[in-house]
Amino acid sequence: MAGDARTNRPSVAKGLVPNVSDSFGDDKKKVETKGKMKKKTLGSVLKDRREFLRLTQRELAAKLGVKASHVAYLENGRRRPSLSLLRRLSTVMGLDSETIFLLAHPEARELITPRDGISAKRPENARNTTRDNADSADRSRNK
């Protein structure tokens, strides 16, 4: 592939990169690349969005406050970002925070998605520890 001399970035042939502008925020699990279906991963979403924003890994790293190698590790699936980095990624790249959280931590999906026959509402007998602790503190002060 020939590169763009001004930005030192390789040029991309039309049709090889998915249209990333509409691949974020939806619940699609796969992205089409080169005519094949590829599972949507956090790394692929980050890389596609970074390229859409026309940022280098170094430029994105500077905006996030991390090293460029860390961005590369994230894009290649070799690292999972911390929760604070996920928030910064969401803000800087304009991505839905819940979507990228679930891509980074797919095991958490069952914690926030209702399963068949189980209500997503909190049971009435579930403890609200913050309120319960405040109530018990009030009761102990009033004695």
Q: Where are the domains of the chain?
A: 3-113
Q: pLDDT category, 15, cuts 50, 70, 90? A: very low
What percent of the chain shows pLDDT beyond 90? 45
- Note whether 107 and 78 are within 8 A (CB): no
Q: Is the pLDDT of residue 51 over 90?
A: yes
Average pLDDT over residues 92-119: 84
Token digits for 32?
């089409």
Q: Is the pLDDT of residue 30 over 60?
A: no
The CATH topology of domain 3-113 is 434 Repressor (Amino-terminal Domain) (1.10.260)
